[in-house]
Amino acid sequence: MTFIRKTLAAAAACTATLACAAPIKVGLMLPATGTYSALGQAIENGFKLYVAEQGGKIGGREIEYVKVDDESDPSKATDNVNKLIKRDHVDVIVGTVHSGVAMAMAKAAKDSGTLLIVPNAGAEAITGPMCAPNIFRSSFSNWQPGYAMGEVAAKKGYRKVVTITWKYAAGDESVAGFKEAFEKNGGQVVKELTLPFPGVEFQALLTDIAATKPDAVYSFFAGGGAVKFVKDYAAAGLNKTVPLLGAFITDGTLEAQGAAAAGVLTTLHYADGLNTPRDKAFRLAYAKTYKLQPDVYAVQGYDAAQILAIGAKATAGDLSKTAAFAAAVEKARIDSPRGPFTLSKSHNPVQDIYLRQVVGAENQAIGIASKALADPSRGCRQ
């Protein structure tokens, strides 16, 4: 079938039922305030860019947005997600950034059967014990970038590493992934430093690192907290003596971090300078629309919309057909700006993890740390 005939067929199938005549209600549950607010905005931008590229319609239906600011606060997460499910009766929830909030969202989605697409939060439970036919992730599991960096650090010959992160699921799991690969390859994590999310009192911990004199430091922070961490690390002079490794610590933050971030090595599923036609087209469209450069969060939002579109097309816009939606997404090759990826049976991306180095205001790709890395999805039975 030609593209036009296919589109017409989908539209005809959809208008045949009443539900399909109405717009798809998308519940965007993202942080609009706090240390992760810029991440939430980038995700929303990316999502809306893909929808705009489809002429504003997904599966033949218009899109209507309902928004909730989750404040990256797990204690409010169940109430917040239930506003979308029970009050607004959304067709699909897209969210969120923070792993603790996302776990509450996954529970509510699983209990109610509401379609959920997670455009960032890496909590392993979501594609582990809580995996479900109606839950998908367009981003990563916390294990993935951590594991990839553990291998890189061992290959670089580092033997003793100190880790530092916020004490919650994302930090714990990122460090555990790093440690698993690093220690399997002969390294040793000699100290695991933490502080409560979203704290930025790094001084005493940096003093501890200086006294411990490890070969390198592995860290997970993001957003506003990452800006301050990388600046404080440099201000303490540690960037001259102890190489800083991480995941997310330089994403969407480089302008604010300036010279403090120079040379930092990170592993992630997106990078600057990929230089593929797909990524170049995406970056140009994003820059034109938002007068901003995209980052990994924007890509994850864009790909959340792609996942929705693939499932919606297969169900002619009827998102309540969970099995057909899932079957289509499970066999899709998603044409992401990061490079094509597929979803595992647990619905987590199987994807290349790039090794990146900060040069100027860019996380430049300097290689592939781990090819087609799949999360182990421990505990997922589907």
Q: How far is the CB of 264 from ligand PHB (least distance, A)?
A: 15
| Under rule CB under 6 A, residue 222 binds ligand PHB | yes
Q: Which is nearer to ligand PHB, 30 or 319 (CB)?
A: 30
d(Cα 123, Cα 69) in Å, to the nearest integer? 19
If one asks whether residue 170 binds ligand PHB (CB under 6 A), the answer comes out as yes
Per-residue binding letters, 79-118, with ligand PHB (x by CB under 6 A): ------------------xxx-------------------
Burial class of residue 324 (count of CB atoms within 10 Å of its CB; 0-12, 13-18, 19+): middle
Q: Single out the residue of 115, 162, 167, 120 nearest to residue 142, CA to CA.
A: 120
DSSP 3-state assignment of 204? Answer: helix
Handedness of CA 215, 221, 223, 227 (dihedral sign): negative
Task: State in angstroms the smallest separation of the CB of 222 from ligand PHB.
Answer: 3
Q: Please tell me whether residue 122 binds ligand PHB under the rule CB under 6 A.
A: yes
Residue 311, CA atoms < 13 Å, CB-side half-sphere: 30
Minimum distance of ligand PHB from residue 120's CB (angstroms): 6
Q: Residue 224 CB, nearest distance to ligand PHB (Å)?
A: 11
Smallest gap from residue 145 Cβ to ligand PHB (A): 9
Contact set for ligand PHB, span 289-318 (CB under 6 A) = none
CA angle 163, 168, 172 (to 5 degrees): 40
Report if residue 248 touches ligand PHB, rule: CB under 6 A: yes
Q: Specify the 3-state DSSP secondary structure of 55.
A: coil
What tokens does 106 get? 């996954």
| Shortest distance (Å) from residue 319 CB to ligand PHB | 25
In the complex, minimum distance from the CB of residue 223 to ligand PHB, in angstroms, rounded to a whole number: 7
- Quickly count: other Cβ atoms within 10 Å of residue 106's Cβ: 26
- CB burial readout 46-55, b (16+ within 10 A) else e: bbbbbbebbe
Q: Is 121 in the site for ligand PHB (CB under 6 A)?
A: yes
**163 pairs with which residues across the strands?**
192, 218
For ligand PHB, the closer of residues 61 and 356 by Cβ is 356
| Contact status: 224 vs ligand PHB (CB under 6 A) | no
Q: How many binding residues for ligand PHB (CB under 6 A)? A: 11
Rounded Cα distance between 360 and 263, Å, is: 9
Q: Counting contacts by CB under 6 A, is residue 35 touching ligand PHB?
A: no
Verify binding: residue 43, ligand PHB, rule CB under 6 A.
no
Contacts with ligand PHB, residue ranges (CB under 6 A)? 97-99, 120-123, 142, 170, 222, 248
